[in-house]
Structure 1
Amino acid sequence: MRVISGDWKGLRLKAVPGSSTRPTTDKVKESIFNMIGPYFEGGIGLDLFAGSGGLGLEALSRGFEKMIFVDRDTYAFQTIKDNVKTCKAEDLVELYKIDAERALKAIVKREVTFDGIFLDPPYKKQQLISLLEKIDHHTLVNESGFVMCEHHSDVELPQQVGNLVCIRKETYGIISISIYRNRDEEEAQ
């Protein structure tokens, strides 16, 4: 696993030890960033089920200016810390060892919005529709921002959740990627 492009291109990242966390493959990660970027001029991101931190670090490498990483797993949390250190990105990140529901409640209280939100929850505990509803209800994604959902290809996500519209869906074997943007932004394009 490595950073694909940007400032940290080629840096090797650690994977979370054990089999409880499934890392996004480099091929799928490249496809995700081709759909949402591929590069950015600033922005704040949220990597809600961060695992190794690979998606959030890729976004930082490609131009995001800040990333909040959230994962409740002790091994994942330590792996994110190690990978952030490898990228020398300590000043660009906030790390939280907390579950996604509590993290979203804390974020709502901070009144922060994001240019990009990465959702890659464990496939066996899919809660993407509920998360999308909360993101929409609290307007956590900026007008021109995106929400990226990685899910099992058997999972069919709705075309629209509140003001969030699925603008693109791609499948790679058993993995599907669904990209959501605000409806108003889509109508303006």
Structure 2
Amino acid sequence: MRVVAGERKGMPLKAVTGTTTRPTTDKVKESIFNIIGPYFDGGTALDLFAGSGGLGIETLSRGASHAIFVEKDGKAFQLLQENIKKCRYEEQTELFRTDATRAVKGLCKRDIQIDYLFVDPPYSKVMYYDLIETLVEHNKLTKDAIIVCEHATDVELPNSYGTYTLKRKETYGSSIISIYSN
């Protein structure tokens, strides 16, 4: 796993071994960013279920100014911290070791606007996609926000979350990437 493009291009990232997380492959990550970017002029990213941080770090490398990472698993969180430090993004990041539901409740109380939302929960935890609706209802996404969901091929996500509608759906093996925007 590595940073695909931007100011940290080629930087190797540590990935969690075992079955507790499912890192987004470099190929899929590159495809996602070719669709949604490929480069950004500032903005805030929220990487729910961050794992070792590949998507949020990639967003920072490509020009986002701030990223919030949420990861519950202890081993993954430790690697996330190491990857952030290795990429020298400590000043541009917030890391929360907590459940995504609790993190979203906390974010809804803050004065924050999210430009890039990445939602990639464990495939068996379909209810976590409802957190997108929570963020939309609390007006935490910018008008031009992009929502990227990674999910199993047997999971059907809605055609919209508020005004954010499904713009593109790509299949990669046993995974689907669904991208929403206004």
TM over 0.5: yes
Write out aligned runs for 1:124-135 (5 A): 124-135=124-135
Equivalent in the alignment of 1:121? 121
What is the distance in 1 between the residues matched to 2:127 and 2:57? 23
Write out aligned runs for 1:1-189 (5 A): 1-182=1-182
* TM-score computed with the length of structure 2 as normaliser: 0.97
Q: When the two structures are aligned, how many residues end up with a matched partner?
A: 182
Deviation of the 1:43 alpha carbon: 0.6
Q: CA RMSD in A?
A: 1.0
Deviation of the 1:129 alpha carbon: 3.8
Cα deviations by residue, 1:116-147 (Å, 9 ceiling, x for unpaired): 01101011112254122112211221001111
Structure 1, unaligned runs of 5 or more? 183-189
Residue 121 of structure 1 contacts residue 127 of structure 1 at CA under 8 Å; is this kept in 2? no
Deviation of the 1:157 alpha carbon: 1.1
What is the distance in 2 between the residues matched to 1:56 and 1:127? 22
Residue 119 of structure 1 contacts residue 150 of structure 1 at CA under 8 Å; is this kept in 2? yes
* Amino acid in the other structure paired with 1:144: D
Deviation of the 1:172 alpha carbon: 1.0
Cα deviations by residue, 1:27-82 (Å, 9 ceiling, x for unpaired): 10001101110000011110011001000000000000100000111111101000
What is the distance in 2 between the residues matched to 1:87 and 1:47? 16
Structure 2, unaligned runs of 5 or more? none
- Structure 1 runs (4+) greater than 4 angstroms displaced: none
What is the distance in 1 between the residues matched to 2:128 and 2:139? 16
Cα deviations by residue, 1:149-172 (Å, 9 ceiling, x for unpaired): 000111111112222211111111
Query: Percent of aligned pairs with the same residue?
Result: 54
What is the distance in 2 between the residues matched to 1:168 and 1:99? 28
